[in-house]
Structure 1
Amino acid sequence: MRGALTALRKDHRSQQSDHLEVPLFSPEQWLDSLTPVAVWRLLILSLICIASLDWLFQVSGIHHVGSLYMLPVCIACWCFGFKTGMGIAIAEIILSVVTLLGLSGHLDTSAIVELVIQLIKFGCAAAVVTRFRQSFDRERLLARRDWMTGILNRQEFQRQAEAMLASATARNRSLLLAYFDLDGFKAVNDRFGHQTGDQLLQCLAEQGKSLIGLEDCFGRMGGDEFAVLIELTKTEGALEVTSQLHVGFTAALENTGHGVTCSMGAVVAFPGDSASLHELMRHADQLMYAVKRDTKAGFSLAGHAPPCDFESLLPPKLQRCSHHS
């Protein structure tokens, strides 16, 4: 009996959980998903509808429809900023003036005062919405970025990488996933302190941004582990790109002056490959740790290690046997 009750409770909690996971309508996400042209169409349509209602209600003696004009102002500020929002507000005041002149043929003092008050209200609302949008964007950026290095955090990297995988599959393109961590990083923290270690990671992340394109993903997976996802063009070889990445990150670490190197594992996701992002990352992680066990300061691509001596791939100032620690 107790077992049956426990099962019922679990089933009930499961149903509640499923119910809570149902996504709700998000106005800000819907607005952000619209193109600028679509937003302008929405603004113009809303202005026409509100102006028509204002005209009809003014004829009926109702004078409180003007507050509806606040909606287009807020939408304009959210999507385009304060100046555009105030431009919409001024356009709305002009529409209100046209409506009043069309009905009475003149503007009395009370109507002018009301319009001025209305413009002030629109300005206050525009300032609040614009400020909130700035805070919203800042918090959203912080939620997606690693707090110390400024590159993608693990959750956002995985989200963007999933989207890249889906897009690459649809366009019949290959992707290269490189996973690496740092050799000798713990010794830097132990000898010079965590502040020096943090500065090293920041330097690596900053210089690493120049190694990839804006459409690629570069993220910190945690600690001293990083991942890169790059779309391969028809003229690029996976081995060549992996070599360039390893050489670039090695050079960035060399510039810190602490003798830290990186071990990298890389896998290629070919078009039509059914492997998930989790499987690709696990495979690359295994290759990386195989490099750390065997040589350190090297890389392995899809289980095939590079030639023992790839010193020629390094810049002159880094010419040394890079597959040794």
Structure 2
Amino acid sequence: MRVNSQMPVGRLAEHLESLSRERIWFAIVAATAGIALADYIIPAVGFAPLYMPVICAAGWALGAREGYFVAVIAAFLAVAPSLHHIAALSVPLLALSIGVRVVTFLFIAAAIISFRRSYDRELFHAHRDRMTGTLNKEVFERRCARMIEDARHIGQTLLLIILDLDDFKAVNNREGHRAGDEVLQTFAGGAASIMRREDLIGRIGGDEFALLVRVPSMVEGQGFARDIHTRLSAVLAQSRYPVTCSMGGLLIPPHASGSASDLMHAADQAMYRAKNSGKNAIAIDRAGEAEAPAEARIAAKRQEGLV
């Protein structure tokens, strides 16, 4: 379920998503006040229906509680201009007039809130690998590219990791696909438990996973990589099936060049080097080293304390 960005409602939804909650509240309050003022000055026109898109915007962008709150306020404001005309009505009729508007506006809020929940649920599943709950390959690569670009602007060092489960196919062939699924889910759950909220984790192949982690520096990034490998190895050791993991790590300084795809390839090459060295191993490279002379690479590592 996706909102078509080419339609007016799709463009409005995208615009709302790009705004902060403070700006959305300001827009809703300003629109509500403008409609109320227009309805008071020219009551014969009947501006009350214009509250409906305001209610929809509140329910979509701010949440259920805020959507219902705006709906109730809008209902009372919609009745206010005509109060002097119905002052002679009995209390029950006045209450009925207000109640009809409250119920109508609350129904509109409930409908848009329900749609937003369905949209969020479908969007979540569309971004996730169904087996492991991690990001799927396409979404990981897209978010990875954005995170790398952001890191360049703010001077942040990153650690890109590619992980491959050793002997996973042997487990699949010997124990069956159910056992293989259990290994994947155990590994993904363990990886998710040690990652921070801002880190990325995705499944990019049958038994391959990728991580993108913010690290304080190039030197500390190497320690981060080794710690992650140790902790993930401990997760796999608790599994009922004998599986280890090979890790390729790529430290990405803020000034590193190359696209996200190039950096993913470099981390993948490091992973294969680790795997070919005997499995259950780790290889860590620095982005851009492949283009530098060997002597320059060694000197740079000594200067930064990596060797």
Distance 1:163 1:193 in 2: 38
Q: 2:33 aligns with which of 28, 38, 48?
A: 48
* Shift, 1:177, TM fit: 0.8
Taking the aligned partners of 1:301 and 1:36, their CA distance within structure 2 comes to 41
- Identical-pair percentage: 33
| In the alignment, structure 1 residue 26 sits paired with structure 2 residue 11 | yes
Q: 1:128 to 1:105 in 2, by over 3 A?
A: closer
User: Structure 2 residue aligned with 1:185, among 168, 175, 179?
Assistant: 168
Consecutive unaligned residues of structure 1, counting only runs of 5 or more, are: 1-20, 305-325
Aligned mates of 1:83, 1:22 — CA distance in 2: 29
- TM (norm. structure 2) is 0.84
- Count of residue pairs the alignment pairs up: 280
- 1:26 counterpart SS class: helix
Bigger radius of gyration among the two:
1
Whole-angstrom CA distance in 1 between matches of 2:271 and 2:217: 26
What amino acid does structure 1 have at the position aligned with 2:89? D
1:108 maps to a residue whose letter is L
In the aligned structure 2, how far is the partner of 1:257 from the partner of 1:72?
55
Quote the residue 2:129 is aligned against: 146
- Name the SS for the 2:42 alignment partner: helix
Q: Taking structure 1 as the reference length, what is the TM-score of the superposition?
A: 0.79
Alignment of 1:1-325 (within 5 A): 26-58=11-43, 61-62=44-45, 64-101=46-83, 103-104=84-85, 106=87, 108=89, 113-234=96-217, 237-302=220-285
Secondary structure in 1 aligned to 2:239?
coil
Unpaired runs of 5+ residues, structure 2, are 290-307
SS for the counterpart of 1:188 is helix
Quote how far apart the aligned CAs of 1:33 are: 1.8
Paired residues of 1:265 and 1:300 also in contact (CA < 8 A)? yes
Q: Could you say what secondary structure the match of 1:179 adopts?
A: strand
* Residue 112 of structure 1, CA deviation: 5.3
Shift of the 111–192 alpha-carbon distance from structure 1 to 2, 3 Å rule, reads same
2: CA distance, partners of 1:140 / 1:78: 14
Answer yes or no: is the 8 Å Cα contact 1:179–1:265 preserved in 2. yes
Q: Give the superposition deviation at 1:234.
A: 3.6
* CA 1:274–1:263: 2 relative to 1, 3 Å: same
Q: Distance in 1 between the 2:149 and 2:6 partners?
A: 23
The code of the aligned residue for 1:168 comes to: A
Superposition RMSD in Å: 2.3
| Letter of the structure 1 residue corresponding to residue 285 of structure 2 | A
| More displaced stretch, 83-92 vs 104-113 | 104-113
1:300 is displaced (CA, Å) by: 0.8
